[in-house]
Structure formats: C-alpha cells, structure tokens
C-alpha cells in the first residue's frame, strides 16, 4: 500500500504556480487577483477561506476577503457579486458555501460571471466541462485527477465507483473520470443505491464523497483497489487540542492494508482542493479559459 501524499503534491504545484507568477510579474504583467466572499461565521468556512487567502500569498497572488454578516439580504449579496463581476482588477472570485438559508445558492452561483467563476460552479462551466470544452473545473475533482496523474495510476478501462452525487464533488468527479484521456467506466452511487457494497467490491478505484465518517469499510474494498477519500467530517476528540479532528469517509485503519493506494485524511485530497483553486485563479489571470 502506498499513501498518496496530497500535501507534498500540492506544495509542488504551488511552487510551480509561484514560479510562473514571478515570471509574469518580471515580464510586467499584473499578479492574478482572487477575491473571496464569506457570509457569517461558520467554523468550516472560516478555516477554508483563511487557507485560501494564505495559499494566495504563497502563490504570489493578490487576494481580497469580503466579509458580511449572516443577515445580509440576497439582493445585497447579488450586488456584491455584480461589483466583483465588473471590477477589472479581480480575475476570479468565490462565494464560500454554504450560505444562510434565506439566500438561494443557485441564484448567487448563476449571477457570477462564468469568466470569473474559479470555483467552476456556474452552469456554463459545468456544461463546458461536461462536453470536454475549456472550463473552470470544480477544485476537488480537479485535485483528485491531478493526484491520480502525478502518481501515474492507471485509469484507462478501470471501473471507478463514485460514492455521492453532489454538485461540488460527486457529479463532476464522475464526468471527469469518464472523459477521454482518463477513460474509466464510472458508476455513481448515492443514498438510493441498494447494492452499494457489491458495486464497491467490483471497483478498481473508489472515490468516497458522502460525508459519512468511516462509511467505506474493508469488506467493501477489492484487494489492490485505489481509494480516494474526500470526507472531512469534524468528530469530537478529547485528545486533540481543538477538541475535534477530521475524519474521512473511509475506515482508514482497516481499508489501508487492503488497497494499492489510499489518500489520508487530513493530508490527502484537502490540500489539493486549495491548490486547484489557485490553478484556476492563474488560468483566470491569464485569460486562458475564456479568450
């Protein structure tokens, strides 16, 4: 079994981005600029956004954090989006999800200019990705593809089982895995799949993205399979300084000895998600997707 070191790979990619940005600046070009919109004080969102701002600094990007209280109205937030759409200095921006219940995430996502949608959540980018056209691709699935590529994991003709069908991870992941060049045969499992265990037992690659800690157990895994764990549930842990730790969707202890490759939590997919957002921001700065 080999551990897939997302921290190490993400640092390599971050270094490559920083070198490219330094060359751009030396050539008199502007630094890519990422803006993040954070509504309210959700613990997870605070951490994600702080990590994104830090990653921007490490890549040599300009970053702006725009914070609003959770009583901001949908109309006011749409105005913020409109301002960012029209700010020529901002190359790309994200609105951190989840949003308060009184705001439609769909409406906000669709209001973002697809040319600045570095999260890749806008239907225009989802559609482009689906037909294999240039697009901003959702950061977590893109990061997983990069991990698989950098570890030279064989994918052509392999059976990939994706557990979860979220718009952010499961669904785009299933599309990317089936695309030309990756060439997996893909099964998408979800809460209404009756024979999940049998399907997983047939998988060469499992991507677990359902947010249920320890869901994928050793009896579900074929010997030698590749296991990608997207789960990041906070579970209470009295021995941890913060009182909690992150737990993945995979029963790591019992699954790891059975498989060929596995991503740990933390240090697997998580760091790749952030660096994929940085990659998209660089593409936005270079106007490389929408010319």
CB of 268 to ligand GUN, least distance (A): 16
Strand-by-strand arrangement of the 226-229 sheet: 2-3, 261-262, 226-229, 205-208, 159-163, 185-189
Q: Can you spell out the DSSP letters for 131-162? A: TT-S----HHHHHHHHHHHHTT---TT-EEEE
Catalytic hit among 5, 117, 119, 251: 119
Q: Is 29 tagged catalytic?
A: no
CB of 134 to ligand GUN, least distance (A): 20
97/182 with CB nearer ligand GUN: 97
Our measurement of the distance from residue 276's CA atom to the centroid of its chain's CA atoms, rounded to an integer in Å, reads 7
Closest CB to ligand GUN: residue number: 97
Catalytic hit among 5, 91, 96, 247: 96
CA distance 279 to 80: 24
CB of 48 to ligand GUN, least distance (A): 6
Our measurement of the distance from residue 88's CA atom to the centroid of its chain's CA atoms, rounded to an integer in Å, reads 26
SS3 206: strand
Q: Is 96 tagged catalytic?
A: yes
Q: Is 52 tagged catalytic?
A: yes
CA distance 63 to 153: 34
168/203 with CB nearer ligand GUN: 168
34/262 with CB nearer ligand GUN: 34
Catalytic hit among 5, 52, 158, 204: 52
Do the Cβ atoms of 142 and 282 come closer than 8 Å? no
Do the Cβ atoms of 205 and 183 come closer than 8 Å? no
Contact set with ligand GUN (CB under 6 A): 94-97, 119, 139, 168
52/128 with CB nearer ligand GUN: 52
CB of 273 to ligand GUN, least distance (A): 6
Positions annotated as catalytic residues are: 52, 96, 119
């Amino acid at each position: 079994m080999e551990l897939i070191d997302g921290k190490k790979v993400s640092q390599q990619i971050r270094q490559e981005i920083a070198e490219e940005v330094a060359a751009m600046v030396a050539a008199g070009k502007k630094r890519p600029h990422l803006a993040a919109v954070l509504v309210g004080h959700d613990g997870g969102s605070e951490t994600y956004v702080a990590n994104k701002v830090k990653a921007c600094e490490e890549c040599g990007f300009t970053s702006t954090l725009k914070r609003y209280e959770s009583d901001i109205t949908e109309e006011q937030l749409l105005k913020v989006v409109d301002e960012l759409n029209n700010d020529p200095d901002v190359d790309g921006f994200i609105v951190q999800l989840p949003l308060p219940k009184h705001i439609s995430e769909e409406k906000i996502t669709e209001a973002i200019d697809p040319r600045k949608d570095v999260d890749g959540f806008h239907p225009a980018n989802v559609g482009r990705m689906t037909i294999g056209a240039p697009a901003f691709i959702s950061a977590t699935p893109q990061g997983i593809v990069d991990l698989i590529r950098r570890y030279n994991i064989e994918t052509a003709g392999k059976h990939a089982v994706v557990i979860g069908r979220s718009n952010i991870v499961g669904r785009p992941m299933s599309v990317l895995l089936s695309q030309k060049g990756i060439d997996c045969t893909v099964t998408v499992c979800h809460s209404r799949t009756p024979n999940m265990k049998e399907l997983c037992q047939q998988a060469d690659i499992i991507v677990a993205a359902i947010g249920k800690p320890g869901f994928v157990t050793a009896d579900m895994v074929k010997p030698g399979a590749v296991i990608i764990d997207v789960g990041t549930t906070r579970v209470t842990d009295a021995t941890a300084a913060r009182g909690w730790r992150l737990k993945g969707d995979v029963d790591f202890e019992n699954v790891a000895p059975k498989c060929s490759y596995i991503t740990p939590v933390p240090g697997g997919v998580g760091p790749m998600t952030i660096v994929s957002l940085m990659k998209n921001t660089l593409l936005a700065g270079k106007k490389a997707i929408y010319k």
